[in-house]
Amino acid sequence: MRTHAIVLGPMVLLAGLAFAACGESSDGTGGGGGEAREPACVEGATREAACGLNDRGTLEERCVDDAWEALACEDPDECVDDVVDRTEFCDRRCEAGAWVDVPCAPVQLSVGTEQACAVLSSGRVACWGEDVTPTLLENVHDVVQVAVTGGPVCTLHADGAVRCVGEDWDKCASHGGCTEISKGLCMLTEDREVWCTGWVGWDARPVVARVRGLHGPIALRSEGKVTLSSVGGTKLEEAGRSCAIESGGGVHCWSHRALGGGGWGVPAYLDAEEVPELDGVIDLDVGGDAGSICAVLDSGGVVCTRIPPDEAIAPRDDLPTSHRVRRGHYHSCALSLSGEVWCWGDNSAGQLGQGHTDPVGGAPRVVGLDQVVEIDADASSGALCGFPGTIESKTTCALRENGEVWCWGNNFGVCGTTSPLPVRVPLRGGR
């Protein structure tokens, strides 16, 4: 009997396996006449699973006809976390599944001959000109400063790179990164060197030359003219002038003429010369008429002269204590410590902000403006608003504490007219 048990055991096991194989098909539906498998779920039962853009939603499944059937995902999120939407004027970022506006109020201004631009707190740049509606520069991000020259708009980025619209080369790539740019275009590097750019030749070949004779420059100001010459040396556009404030409050200035005037024979250096009449300077601007320069002294007073000086420095005794000064084309404006703007000089386009275009003596306060933190004007000239020939830029703009930008003078987009009172630029600070 024990022998039979040993022999029959494996036979019974094999038979059982064969029966199981024949009783159910590979798809679980049963085959060979066997019984159907157990249903996948109990009719009417429900269960939940995570779903949605950030897996914070709830997906409910219900048992229908012995199978799980998914219902609609109930997702509270409207976007994927950390995604930035740049399709609108102001960026927005997705935080915790909801769109949050990225601040885009203006933080810095630059006024050129044909347009003005503002750096927004989002790191993008908005510009306006003949079309009074501001538009964003495409694919330009992480900007800390903008400079509107007589040529392309140039931007300084958070990583120290300097790029100009329409050009794919970094002007500071070989100089260790830059910390400041000016109209013109001049650049202050991390190691306190100054390099200036010009466009030379029929093909506007870009060149860069270092400025010699500087001793610890901390700030740059330039006319908005672009250095551009033909191969034969015939100037297509007049070269501008730049100045640097030294760490001790002294001033050195140089001309861009050598950079663009030699055709293909571009010099490796530009030479700066000291303006000994100026000392204790905390801010300045250059250009406008015959190389004029105005400076704010550490006392808060404003003085003006020419480069090189051919007359005594003229202090502006009709101004309050100031900390900014900007040169326009035959007019100037100062920003007082109290946040008001005071202008003097030519008023033919209402650039003194008095509500009229009549000559004005002294330096009156611009009507209706207060709480101003930044001003800029353009001291160059160009073919403004499509008019043939040379037209002087007579526009000044101001940035207020609340993020509003106001401009007056010929105001770009109001071509053929003047705006003798400040007009608000429709820069959007939110959605």
pLDDT band at 386 (very low <50, low <70, confident <90, very high): very low
pLDDT band at 370 (very low <50, low <70, confident <90, very high): very high
Distance CA 377, CA 217 (A): 23
Query: DSSP secondary-structure letter at 384?
Result: G
Q: Each residue of 318-336: pLDDT tens digit?
A: 999 999 999 988 899 999 9
Question: Which pLDDT value is given to residue 353?
Answer: 95
Q: Which residues pair with 427 in a beta bridge?
A: none
Question: Which pLDDT value is given to residue 290?
Answer: 60
Nearest to 295 by CA among 276, 278, 317, 312: 278
More confident site: 395 or 202: 395
Mean pLDDT, range 390-408, rounded to an integer: 84
Question: Which pLDDT value is given to residue 75?
Answer: 92
Nearest to 199 by CA among 221, 229, 239: 229
Share above pLDDT 90 across residues of the chain, in percent, rounded to a whole number: 45
Nearest to 76 by CA among 59, 52, 111, 92: 52
Q: What is the CA radius of gyration of the chain?
A: 35
Q: In the predicted model, is pLDDT for residue 312 greater than 80?
A: no
Q: Each residue of 254-289: pLDDT tens digit?
A: 988 777 554 445 567 899 999 998 999 999 999 876
| 231-235 CB contacts, 8 Å cutoff, 24+ apart | 231/201, 231/202, 231/263, 231/264, 232/263, 233/261, 233/262, 233/263, 235/260, 235/261
Find out whether 266 and 207 touch, Cβ atoms under 8 Å.
yes
Share above pLDDT 70 across residues of the chain, in percent, rounded to a whole number: 76
Q: In the predicted model, is pLDDT for residue 249 greater than 50?
A: yes
Beta-strand relationship, 269-271 and 205-212: parallel
Q: Each residue of 76-114: pLDDT tens digit?
A: 999 999 999 988 888 899 999 999 988 888 999 999 877
Mean pLDDT, range 403-411, rounded to an integer: 88
Q: Each residue of 26-51: pLDDT tens digit?
A: 444 444 455 666 778 888 888 888 89
Distance CA 4, CA 8 (A): 6
Question: Which pLDDT value is given to residue 93?
Answer: 92
Beta-strand relationship, 251-255 and 125-128: unpaired
Give the angle 170-205-328 at the CA atoms, nearest 5°. Answer: 80
Q: In the predicted model, is pLDDT for residue 1 greater than 50?
A: no
pLDDT band at 129 (very low <50, low <70, confident <90, very high): confident
Laid out side by side, the sheet with 331-336 consists of: 322-327, 331-336, 341-345
Mean pLDDT, range 235-241, rounded to an integer: 61
Nearest to 53 by CA among 11, 82, 12: 82
Question: Which pLDDT value is given to residue 36?
Answer: 63
Find out whether 239 and 225 touch, Cβ atoms under 8 Å.
yes
Question: Which pLDDT value is given to residue 7?
Answer: 36
- Among 117-121, 189-193, 243-247, 263-267, where is mean pLDDT lowest? 263-267
Cβ–Cβ contacts within 10 Å for residue 61, how many? 16
Question: Which pLDDT value is given to residue 341?
Answer: 98
Residue 429, amino acid: G
Query: DSSP secondary-structure letter at 18?
Result: H
Q: What is the CATH number of domain 184-425?
A: 2.130.10.30
Which secondary-structure segment (H or E) carries 12? helix 2-23
Q: In the predicted model, is pLDDT for residue 205 greater than 50?
A: yes
Question: Which pLDDT value is given to residue 394?
Answer: 82
Question: Which pLDDT value is given to residue 227?
Answer: 56
Q: In the predicted model, is pLDDT for residue 383 greater than 70?
A: no
